Structure 1
Amino acid sequence: MESLPRIDFVELHDLDRIPAVLRTLHTESIVTIYRLTDAARAYSVPLSIALREGASHRIVDLCAGSGGPVPLIQRKLHREGIHTQVTLTDLVPNVRAFQRVQAAHRRRLPNCCSVDYVSSSVDATDCTVEGTRTIYGAFHHFPPAIAARMLQNAVDTRSPMVVVDTKRSFLYVLLFPFLITLAVLLSAPFQRNPLPRYLLRLALTYLVPVLPFMMFFDSVVSFLRMYGRAELRRMVDGLAGTETFTWKIGVVPGFTGAQYLIGIPRD
């Protein structure tokens, strides 16, 4: 599938007409799936590589959605003796979700590391927040021109960059959407939400299965939109000043198929 062109289609939860509460329920489900899978282990590897090669331990998570996997990754790295400070950001920040992530972090790691957030809009193509930038599970949402602008902004500001998505594979297109949808169906009763949103989640999962349908449809589209490693290489080769960075592109071994792009400024 690496040899096939990327298909740039639209995921349902990206549509402007989708109600904000439905988008939040969707992104919260994604966070739950991160917790249920081995994603934190695989997704922590590229960031760990970047930190060992001199990237800042101040992590600026772009496109963080409802918190994403970075807080889970932070705890995984903490157990390995790697301590970080995480700032959650998004173009349309879910401040309540960020606050919940921050409160949960304080309970788990009260005396080490930190999680904060930016409550105003942060554009990943014109970011001014200092630190190592991460984009987890969201890079494929952006067409090549915008994705390249995100990387160009990192080069222009000499900010280390870690992008992690799933590799493009026929197996994942055929298998993962069913597994992810099953996870949504099984996990809905255990989601921690305020009562009105909890009841809405149950209704939109079991009575009118909007959330499972969205998750299945968006999962299929996501895997078709993933950038291949050759496409990522062409993208970084086309950046102005790309020679001032060291770039690594690869895949973490394991079930998640975590594909990464790491960019570190050269001295």
Structure 2
Amino acid sequence: MRLRLRLFEFEDLPWFPATIRAGMMDYLRFMISALGTYRPIAPLLAEGLARTAQTRVLELGAGAGGGTETVLAALHALGQPTTITLTDLYPQPAAWADIARRTNGNIGYEPSSVDALAVPAQLAGFRTIFSAFHHFPPDAATAMLRDAVRAGTGIGVFEGAGKHWAELLLALTVLPVAQLLLTPFFRPFRLSRLVFTYLIPLIPLCTIWDGSVSLLRMYSTGELLALAHAADPAGAFAWQVGKKRHWWGPQVTYLIGWPVEAAQPAKTHET
């Protein structure tokens, strides 16, 4: 899919009700975790951590933390000792506290709002952003990458799709049905989630819109690499861009970079 449209997403709007946003994030967290969406990129992230001699991942735009537990488990399985700190412009402390409890504190969180374009210096770690980079227009996306380069920390951008028309069809058909069937099993339990899914179906309707728009807003691999070069004209970082495929079919699109002193030239991969 080459088409890229700058349509709005409900979850980006400052006035959007926090209850509906939380319900949408709970769904995304459940699906991304259940499907192991980001497991294929664990070796890339482990390499970034090793090259930058870091043991902490700082997740930007974390939403409800979907997939973070899967990534942590995959990193530990690769022998990479890691902790993860969740951050977001719109923090989800209730959801994050549940993740922190389940992981015995290996996944923690910053309760105050964090701007991914200007990360406070005290929040250290290899920066990542999962399923959220498409929310940022080119100028803001470039600023996010530039801030990581300026800080001298690595950064990985990961989108849980390959930007194909078939994925858009799934977002409009199969995934809404799955949301209606699975919502009662989401944890932590929220009565509001049931009300706004079944009685007043704002959560599924907004999820269908945002999920479809997300695919249309995604950057291609070529666009990601162009953003990286715009953010890092001096070549302080080495960048890799490409797609990683799950054994069962779906792809993850990625951009990852770290300081050049222990890196390789920019390159593109598709596996």
Q: TM-score higher than 0.5 here?
A: yes
The reply on whether 1:226 has 2:221 as its aligned counterpart is no
Q: Cα distance 1:94–1:263, how it changes in 2: closer, same or farther (>3 A)?
A: same
- 1:36-58 per-residue CA deviation (whole Å, 9 max, x = no partner) reads 21314234343134235445221
Aligned match of 1:64: 62
**Is 2:196–2:202's contact at 8 Å kept on the other side of the alignment?**
yes
What is the TM-score normalised by the length of structure 2?
0.88
Aligned to 1:96: 94
Deviations 1:160-185 (A, max 9, x none): 00100123222211224423222211
8 Å CA contact retained: 1:64, 1:89: yes
User: Retained in 2: the 8 A contact 1:33–1:183?
Assistant: no
Structure 2 Cα separation of the partners of residues 190 and 218 of structure 1:
22
Deviation, structure 1 residue 260 = 0.4
* Coordinate RMSD, CA, aligned: 1.8
TM-score, normalisation: structure 1: 0.89
Give the Cα–Cα distance (whole angstroms) in 2 for the partners of residues 202 and 159 of structure 1. Answer: 41
Structure 1 Cα separation of the partners of residues 157 and 234 of structure 2: 16
**Aligned position for 1:147:** 141
What is the aligned counterpart of 1:81 among 79, 82, 94? 79
Query: Any stretches of 5+ residues in structure 1 without a counterpart?
Result: none
Aligned to 2:173: 178
Give yes or no for contact 2:19–2:192 (8 Å, CA) kept in 1: no
Q: What is the percent sequence identity of the aligned residues?
A: 34
CA deviation profile, 1:226-245 (whole Å, cap 9, x unmatched): 00111112111212445111
Pairwise CA distance, 1:97: 1.8
Counterpart-to-counterpart distance in 2, 1:170 and 1:40: 20
State the shift of 1:21 in Å: 1.0
Structure 1 residues 91-170: aligned runs within 5 Å: 91-106=89-104, 114-127=106-119, 128=121, 129-165=123-159, 166-170=161-165
What CA distance in whole angstroms lies between the structure 1 residues aligned with 2:172 and 2:99? 26
Shift of the 48–183 alpha-carbon distance from structure 1 to 2, 3 Å rule, reads farther
| 1:150-203 Cα deviation digits (max 9, x unpaired) | 000011111100100123222211224423222211211111234xx2x32222
Indicate the residue corresponding to 2:184 in structure 1: 189
The answer for unaligned runs of 5 or more in structure 2 is 262-271
- 2:240 matches 1:248: yes
Amino acid of the structure 2 residue aligned with 1:182: V
Shift of 1:205: 1.8
AA aligned opposite 1:48: A
Would the aligned equivalents of 2:60 and 2:129 in 1 still touch at CA under 8 Å? yes
Does the Cα contact within 8 Å between 2:46 and 2:78 map onto a contact in 1?
no
- Match of 2:95, as an amino acid? A
Determine helix, strand or coil for the equivalent of 1:171.
Answer: helix
Deviation at 1:12, TM superposition (A): 1.7
Aligned residues: 256
Compare 25-34 and 38-47 and name the one that shifted more. 38-47
C-alpha distance in 2, partners of 1:44/1:190? 27
- The answer as to whether partners of 2:157 and 2:255 remain within 8 angstroms in 1 is yes
